[in-house]
Amino acid sequence: MKAIWLACCACGDYGLLQQEVEGRDVGAQVLRVGDLDGLVSMARAFPSRRGAAIIAASLFDTEDVRKTVARLTAEGRVSRVVVLIETLDPSDIEGLFRAGATEVIAAHSLCGNGRAGEGTVDSDRRMTIEPDAFVDREPGAPRATRGPRVDEYGKAEAEHGRRPRDPLAYDDAGGPVPYGDDVLAEDMGYVHGVNLADELDEVEGFAGAGEPCAAASLASEPQTGQPAMPAWAQHVTAAGETGMLSPASVSPVPAPSAPALSADASIPSRRAPVVCAVSGSGGCGKSTIVATMAHAASLLGLRAAVLDLDLMFGNLYDLLGVDAPHDMATLIEPSAAGALAEPDIVAASMRVAPGVTLWGPVAAPEKAELMARPVELLLDVLRRESDVVFVDTSVFWGDAVAAAVAASDRCLVVGDAAVSSATSASRVIELASRVGVPRTRMSAVFNRFGARGADEDVAIRFEIACALSSKIRIADGGQDLAALMAFGRADEAVGQTSAFATSVREATREMLVELGCAVGPWSDMVADRATRTERPRIRLPWSREGDSR
């Protein structure tokens, strides 16, 4: 059955709206409705979320359009709501997205008066987000996380919004098809904001029953004496920036010897997801987020491997409380053989806590440029031996960082309220796209939300600049968090009952569920730590009245 779109517009704008619909659903049937109330009435005749709507907002009052969009999405009768506007007013755009619009398009000279042929769409200013899918969604697709909100007293509180899933996927020809096991397993998440990505990436595979995380099967590779091309380079050297090389054009990786830990056809297909934290500017809190998310994953019963790929000057070991850091450069020599043995990997590791193990950085910064091959081999092993891999990166991307980002299942683009944060974040998103990471695997992470100068407006500007469908907000931890991290107490920081700890735990749990990890209930240590780390307070009688002395 072809998709049905309801177009609310003047007669003269019908051709423009029909063209927009054709660009989304080839062969879709379009029915014009002349007023907003009629649009809602017609939508109620559809089965749940089987239709779609497109509105030319110039005909109506902006507030009426926003209320209509909210009614359409609240009743769940349409899967997509597209709004064409003439004036790019940020407050109007944000209101439409909050109401549930999935796309807002800038269109010049909408008719609104019955004259045909005058309306045109400004494709350069198009802003798009896709419908969300949160009910029984498949593993691997990003879920919207609104993150903490600021209450009337300025305190950040964790909040995670959910919306019903879209029952339609779209095939290669653009026609809608029902979701199923053999169609797209990944779709866009919704949070107020914009997203410029139109294509959906396919997840590599799913874990079977009893497996902790989603997996992609490994194919055996033929033995050759040629060196392997870095994984990230396979994306940028093909036709197009994000194209993939054909199997014949990629130099295969030599097969490992029997005792080495490397990819082999006999290895089970389960592979842990890789979560990379990236940013275009330093000091935005990537390392703190990685450290606390790793501990949060361990509290969910997962084995978290952590890589510090700020190879020259990283200090993740300090934030995690490691007294004697191990040098990851010891993996350079064994990696020359094309595989890493278990003793080499163990010798370079640092056991931080139950379920959390760290690798990196290197002791001699000048060896950082030699770490590309060791990092690729180590990542391959950790994806088989752990449940989730967290990667902290540097602002400068060498081959090691590019390889890790290219292999990531979720790329966290971290920023804060700094002046250059939004601009640098958009540039790092472009770079990640060029090494092969689709936007549907990226999440915009606004850190220190609720701090002075990091209010709702600043967060929205950052999210719009990132133009990603998945968004996370991490509350500001204040001086208490800074004091804990200075002494390597990331475990206590995530186990508290603060807004920061709550936002990190909830964001981590939702992300891991989306990636297919079989997370359990929160460990009892969460409540225990919150009680143990609460500071004793002296109760003084200053607030008492009527002191007789």
The DSSP code for 150 is E
**Residue located via tokens 């439409």:** 96
What are the phi and psi torsion angles at 443 (to 5°)?
-130, 135
Q: How far is CA 239 from CA 236, 245, 253, 381, in A?
A: 8, 8, 22, 30
Specify burial of residue 213 (Cβ count, 10 A radius: 0-12, 13-18, 19+).
buried
What's the CA gap between 5 and 491, in Å, rounded? 51
What's the CA gap between 15 and 381, in Å, rounded? 55
Q: What is the CA radius of gyration of the chain?
A: 25
- Consecutive H or E run containing 186: none
The DSSP code for 440 is G
**Residue located via tokens 């690729």:** 376
DSSP-assigned states of every residue in 452-478? TT--HHHHHHHHHHHT-SEEEEEE--H
Instruction: Please write down the HEC assignment for all residues of 202-217.
Output: CCCCCCCCCCCCCCCC
Both tokens of 282, joined, read 């330093």
Both tokens of 207, joined, read 């874990």
Q: What is the pLDDT along the chain (549 residues), one digit of tens a residue?
A: 577 889 998 888 888 888 888 888 888 888 898 889 888 888 887 766 668 898 988 888 888 999 998 888 877 778 889 998 887 778 888 888 888 888 888 876 555 444 433 444 444 444 443 334 333 344 455 544 444 544 444 444 444 333 333 433 344 444 444 434 333 333 333 333 333 333 333 333 333 334 444 443 333 344 444 445 554 444 444 434 333 333 334 344 444 444 455 444 344 467 999 999 999 999 999 999 999 999 999 999 999 999 999 999 999 999 999 999 999 999 999 999 999 999 999 999 999 999 999 999 999 999 999 999 999 999 999 999 999 999 999 999 999 999 999 999 999 999 999 999 999 999 999 999 999 999 999 999 999 999 999 999 999 999 999 999 999 999 999 999 999 999 999 999 999 999 999 999 999 999 999 999 988 887 765 655 544 544 444 444 545 555 544
The end-to-end CA distance of the chain, in Å, is: 85
Provide the pairing of β-strand 78-85 with 410-415: unpaired
The neighbour count for residue 180, using CB atoms within 10 Å, is 9
**Cβ pair 59, 68 in contact under 8 A:** no
Provide the pairing of β-strand 51-56 with 78-85: parallel
| Sign, CA torsion 26/57/52/184 | positive
Closest by Cα among 432, 340, 449, 344 to 393: 432
What's the CA gap between 517 and 514, in Å, rounded? 8
pLDDT tens string 439-483: 999 999 999 999 999 999 999 999 999 999 999 999 999 999 999
The neighbour count for residue 377, using CB atoms within 10 Å, is 26
Our CA dihedral for 427, 420, 277, 191, rounded to 10 degrees, sits at -80
- The one-letter code for the residue type at 351 is R
**Where do the domains of the chain lie, and which CATH numbers do they carry?**
4-128 (3.40.50.2300), 230-528 (3.40.50.300)
Tell me the whole-structure pTM to 2 decimals: 0.55
415: alpha, beta or left, given left = phi > 0 and alpha = psi -120 to 50? beta
The neighbour count for residue 531, using CB atoms within 10 Å, is 11
pLDDT tens string 370-423: 999 999 999 999 999 999 999 999 999 999 999 999 999 999 999 999 999 999
DSSP-assigned states of every residue in 225-294? SSPPPPTTHHHHSSSSTT----GGGSPPPPPPPTTEES--TTS-S----EEEEE-SSTTSSHHHHHHHHH
